[in-house]
Structure 1
C-alpha cells in the first residue's frame, strides 16, 4: 500500500475524458491493502458448496429455475476494484460524453481523485457482489458473482461470528440476486433503460426525479425479494449476523459515515427494509410463490405507491 503512489496517479491524471480510469484503478489499488487470498482447498470447496447449496435452496423455496453465473470469483480487494472500475466507467460514460467544463485538466484530477477514493472505500468494505454487468456491450456478457475473501474473513473476526456460517450467509444473499435475474430475463434491459434515462437528463443539466423514483422502486423490489428468499432459504437463524453487521456500520466514525451517505449506502439500506416489508406482506397474504409475479414483466413491478401498499399491488396483478 502506497499513499504516495496513489496521490501521484491522481495528480498525473491524463487523457481527454472527464475521468482517467487507468489512474483511478492505480490510485485506488495503491491506497488499499489487497488482503490475503491464500485459501486452503477446504475453503475453496466451502465457497463452491455454499453457492451450490444456496442455488438449490433458493430454487426450491422460490420455485424459480435459474443458474448461477459462469463467472464465480473469490477475489482480494484489488481484484474487486479492477472489476468495478469497468462497471463505474460504463455507467459514467454518458455523463463524461456530455459534460463540458472550463478547466478540463483540473476537473479531471478532481474527478479521478473522487472516484479512486470511492472505489478504495468500497473495496475495503464490500463482502460479496452479484454483478449483472449493466451497460456492457457484446453478446457474451454473462453475469458475474464475486466474493471479497479478505473482507469476509476480517468482518467475521471483527463481529466475532463463525467464519464458515458468515461466508455461507453472504453466498446465500448473492445467489438470491442470481435467482431474480434468472426469473426475469428482461430485468437487465429494464434497469439499463432506467439508468440511461436518468443519466441522460443529468448530462443535459436536468434532474428527472420520476426516472430516479422508478429506478429506486425497481432496486427496492430487487433488494426486498432477495431478503424474502433469504428468510426462507437460509438454513439457520441469521438475525444475529444482521444485527451485528448493522451495529458495526452505525458505529463507524464521522468520515466513514459521510462516505456511506455520499455513496448512497443509506439508500440501499432503506431499499432493503422497504422491499422486505412489501414482500413479507405479499407472502403473508398469498405465500412466497405469489411474490414471483413481479418477474412476469416490467408492467408487474410495483409502483412507488404500491411498495407501501402490497394489498393494492396484489389486487392489480393477482385479483
Structure 2
C-alpha cells in the first residue's frame, strides 16, 4: 500500500467531469494490497470444478440447463477494481457533468470518495457475477469473478475450511448466472430502473418509484439465489452463513459506515426478505412455482407483495 501515492492521485484529479476515474482507480489501487493469486497446485482446476458443479447442481434444482459465462477469472483486489471501474463510470455518467460552483474542489472530493469506496469494495468482495449492466452485451459475455485473496482471508478469519468456503461462494455466484439465463429480459429491466433513478438524480430530483422498483427486483434476484443455493449446495453451509453474518455485524465503526454508504446493509436485508418470500412460495407450491418470477417482467412481485407472498401467488397463479 502507498497512501502517499493514493493522496497524490486524488489531489491531481483533473478533467471536465465530476470524477476523474483514472485518478480514482489509481488512488484505490495505491491504498489496497493487491493480494496474491499464486495458486496452489490444483487450485485453478478446483475453482473450475466448483463452477461446473454449481452449474449442474443449480440447474438440476431450478429445472433448466444454462451455461456459465465465457469469462471466469480468479482475481486479486487490483484486478477486481480494474474490472469494475468501467461499470461504475457508465452508471455515474448522467451526473458526471454536474460539478457545481467550484468544479475543481468538487472533482477532488468526488474522486477521493470514489477511490475510497472502490478500495473498500476491492478489499471485501469475495465473488461476483457481473451482468455488465448498462452495457449492450449478451449473457454469454457476462463475467464471473473470484477474488482469491479475499476468499482466502475470509476463510482464515472465519476459521472455516478454505475449499468448502470457496465452493460455497461459487454456488452463490452461479445462481445469479442461472437467473439471468432464465430471464433474458432481466438485464434490461434492471438497467432501465437504474437509469430512470440516476437520470432524475442528475436533474436534481429523486424518483422514489424507480428506486423502489429496483430494490424490489434486486430483492427477488438475491432471494431466489439464496433459495437455489440452499437446495443445490452439496455440503453443510449453516455454519458458513452464521459466521459470515457475525463477521459483518462485528466490523468496526468505520467499516460499518462504509457498508451503510454502499448499501451493503440493504443488500443483507434483500437476501433475508427475498429468501423469506421464496421459502413461502416454495413451501406452498414447490420450487417450480418460485421460478415463475422469471417468465415475464410482470411476474416480478411488487414491493408490497414481497411481504405478502400469498397475494403474489393469487395474482400470478404459477
- In structure 2, the residue matched to 1:42 is 42
The count of aligned residue pairs is 318
- Alpha-carbon distance, 1:245 to partner: 0.7
Aligned positions of 1:1-319 closer than 5 A: 1-97=1-97, 99-137=98-136, 142-318=141-317
- Alpha-carbon distance, 1:66 to partner: 1.4
**SS state of the match for residue 175, structure 1?**
helix
- Alpha-carbon distance, 1:289 to partner: 1.0
Q: Alpha-carbon deviations, 1:56-91, whole Å to 9, x = none?
A: 000000112211100000000000011111111010
- Alpha-carbon distance, 1:138 to partner: 6.1
- Alpha-carbon distance, 1:40 to partner: 2.5
- Alpha-carbon distance, 1:201 to partner: 0.8
- Alpha-carbon distance, 1:95 to partner: 1.3
Q: What is the alpha-carbon distance in structure 2 between the residues aligned to residue 6 and residue 253 of structure 1?
A: 23
Q: What is the alpha-carbon distance in structure 2 between the residues aligned to residue 309 and residue 140 of structure 1?
A: 32
Choose 147-156 or 88-97, whichever is displaced more. Answer: 88-97
- Per the normalisation by structure 2, the TM-score is 0.98
Q: What is the alpha-carbon distance in structure 1 between the residues aligned to residue 276 and residue 64 of structure 2?
A: 21
**SS state of the match for residue 67, structure 1?**
coil
Q: Alpha-carbon deviations, 1:198-229, whole Å to 9, x = none?
A: 00111111111111100000000000000000
Q: What is the alpha-carbon distance in structure 1 between the residues aligned to residue 139 and residue 271 of structure 2?
A: 31
Choose 128-137 or 139-148, whichever is displaced more. Answer: 139-148
Cα-Cα RMSD: 1.2
Do 1:74 and 1:146's aligned partners in 2 also have CA atoms closer than 8 Å? yes
Do 2:73 and 2:144's aligned partners in 1 also have CA atoms closer than 8 Å? yes
Q: What is the alpha-carbon distance in structure 2 between the residues aligned to residue 244 and residue 18 of structure 1?
A: 39
Q: Which runs of 4+ in 1 moved over 2 A?
A: 137-141
- Alpha-carbon distance, 1:100 to partner: 4.2
**SS state of the match for residue 16, structure 1?**
coil
| Structure 1: gaps (5+ residues) | none
